[in-house]
Structure 1
């Protein structure tokens, strides 16, 4: 079966549910590529021959983000450091002690702003709910930042990709295949750059913290 035929038989509901589940699981605190799935689904919706609605993708993306973050918040509030210890053993490259300490620093300093803007950065996106819960951020404050971040990120990203796809399809035949590959590569590249930048910040914060601790010990 040609890929065009395969794409046309995918039930739209399956696409929406997949977006909601992947975004929700990532928001809960599991490091999976929610943004790439969202972008890929938005590109599918830009194909005029496919019956996939970008509005429904945006809706499921927002719901997944808000619900996933809220579950992560509840888990962080209930289990705190025990949760991070368990996740550190399962995902040491994302939830190591230095990563957790840096996330606590960022969320402790910026509060709901970190929840909102963290939605746009993958490594902070997985921390938002659990860290906010562990730090006992008031849930109404967290929920407001969570909803606003989910709407602007999921709905904004989906709408932008959809309309870019619609405009470019006028000029490029089979644009969706090209754009899908470009978007995935671009997303991976940006993700790697941000990850390296975040790792640098994590290492810098860890070095500062250890230096402060070493300076306090003799006293």
Structure 2
């Protein structure tokens, strides 16, 4: 196990840091983009890139690029919603998402307002649909950024820190403990399980606000949150 993991981590680290960082930023941009984000494994690519971080500066630069990539993806979704949202929603591609998910995203934004933008970054499906829905609603772009930037920073910091610390600890212990590889894999698996469970719990809690349509609800407009 140790030999294989050492080879794998060395292979990732051997990739040019600039290329590795740009690939992570591109992956998360696609992962947060409307509809594309449902099939691109941005989370996994960021974790892999995080295991190659060898210094605080490299970690900060990776985090900055990942945040910028996430903001670019969400901004694409926002402006697509502002410019062609209804047409996209009723296109063949939009219909594959399902009317129920579109209505859920719209209802979530109406009921939560700004916090929906922050929380949706951590929710399945909604993290791709909410930016588009926000753009369609007439919500101001600057206020959209004020809610989504902190969410992207929290998300990227969490993923990169866990990956980098786990990989760094493994490298320190690999020559001393024959089961260091299992510890590394265990840490990553536990982290992913906790992330998955946390998303499901958050989704379940937030779903309480989405189960029933309240009469008289109106789309979010330029209001203070």
TM-score normalised by structure 2 residue count: 0.72
Residue number among 105, 120, 123 corresponding to 1:118 in the alignment = 120
How many equivalent pairs are there? 202
CA offsets 1:64-91 (integer angstroms, 9 cap, x no match): 01111111100011112221223334xx
Which of 26, 30, 45 does residue 37 from structure 1 map onto?
45
- Aligned positions of 1:71-150 closer than 5 A: 71-86=76-91, 87-89=93-95, 92=96, 95-150=97-152
What CA distance in whole angstroms lies between the structure 2 residues aligned with 1:28 and 1:177? Answer: 35
CA separation of 1:134 and 1:176: change in aligned 2, threshold 3 A: farther
Q: CA deviation at 1:109?
A: 1.2
Return the alpha-carbon distance in structure 2 between the equivalents of residues 36 and 4 of structure 1: 14
Change (3 A) 1:189 1:151: closer
Distance (whole Å) between structure 2 residues aligned to residue 201 and residue 114 of structure 1? 9
User: Quick check: 2:122–2:199 contact (8 Å CA) kept in 1?
Assistant: no
1:165 equivalent among 164, 167, 170: 167
Contact 2:163 2:188 in 1 (8 A): no
Deviations 1:134-171 (CA, angstroms, capped at 9, x unpaired): 11111111011121111121133312432343345433
Question: Secondary structure of 2:125's partner?
Answer: helix
Partner of 1:45: helix, strand, or coil?
coil
Deviations 1:111-144 (A, max 9, x none): 2211112112232211232111011111111011
CA contact (8 A) 2:108 2:116 kept: yes
Structure 1 position 187, deviation (Å)? 3.1
Q: 50, 54, 64: which one pairs with 2:59? A: 54
Structure 1, unaligned stretches of length 5 or more?
213-219
Alignment RMSD (CA, Å): 3.5
The residue number in structure 1 matching 2:3 is: none
Contact 2:166 2:187 in 1 (8 A): no
Structure 2 unaligned regions, length at least 5 = 1-6, 216-225
How far, CA to CA, are the matches of 1:34 and 1:100 in structure 2? 22
Quick check: 2:109–2:134 contact (8 Å CA) kept in 1? yes
Q: Which moved more, 1:148-157 or 1:165-174?
A: 165-174
